[in-house]
Amino acid sequence: MKLPELRKFIVPGLAALALVFTVTAQAQESKERKPSKETLEKYDADGDGQLSEAEKEKQKADSAAKAKETRRKNLEKYDADGDGKLSDSEKEKQKADMAAEKEAKKAEREAKKKEKQS
């Protein structure tokens, strides 16, 4: 192929590639989650409606501490053999309990919804 014939493919290909990068960058920007109202109320110390880096770090630290505490409680509750980790059967018990809890909450919400409709 000669250079002029290659340009027929290269130029549109480069344009398409540029478009893909632009759309991808925009999608990534829009995927950044904005903090919820509750999160802002709890962590937005300066009240500017956004979380600063320090405020985000506080939120991350609190989340990590909460996750650690949840893991500790789950280990305490489900580690039947006391080996410090959950076996497959212990994980299954935890999973079943979580599913039952989820169903109970769903039933409670539906009951409240029916009560409001009455």
Residue ranges of the domains in the chain?
Answer: 1-32
Decide: pTM greater than 0.95.
no
Mean pLDDT of the residues in the chain: 86
Cα separation, 13 vs 11, in Å, equals: 5
- The yes-or-no verdict on residue 111 having pLDDT over 90 is yes
Residue-level pLDDT at 95: 95
Question: Which of 17-26, 65-74, 80-89, 91-100 is the least confident region?
Answer: 17-26
Tokens of 94: 């935890």
Asked if 78 and 86 touch (Cβ cutoff 8 Å), the reply is: yes
- The yes-or-no verdict on residue 56 having pLDDT over 80 is yes
Mean pLDDT of 54-67: 96
Residue-level pLDDT at 21: 74
How many Cβ atoms from other residues are within 10 Å of residue 55's Cβ? Answer: 19
